Amino acid sequence: MPQAFSKYVPHVVECMASSYVDYNPIPLIKVRSCFIAHGWGGVSEVYSGLKYAVKLGYIEEVPYGRLTRYRPTLTGVVKAAIMDAVMAVLGIID
């Protein structure tokens, strides 16, 4: 597993998991709107979390015509939830 991390990874995976309906890959605009709605950040934070979530295998890139859409992995959802809980309890990263 590559050594990579961003404090936005759990939030990106959470937004992906909540938007993942009917097994359709998710466009990035839905993740950005989720981030803004929760007040977690903006566009640069989404891209930072997405880049590292893909590197860690928490999210899969899915070719969708000329575009790329994204799909959360089951392992990624579980690991991101654990990571978020540990960070919240220990106060490592806010």
Q: In this predicted model, what pLDDT tens digit does every residue of 67-87 receive, in sequence order?
A: 999 999 999 999 888 888 888
Domain boundaries, the chain: 9-89
Return the CATH number of the domain spanning residue range 9-89.
1.10.10.10
- For residue 80, what pLDDT is reported? 87
Task: Answer with the residue of higher pLDDT: 90 or 34.
Answer: 34
Q: Residue 11 to residues 22, 24, 38, 51, 64: CA-CA distances in angstroms?
A: 21, 20, 9, 13, 23
Read off the pTM. Answer: 0.82
Distance CA 33, CA 29 (A): 6
Tokens standing for residue 4: 């990579």
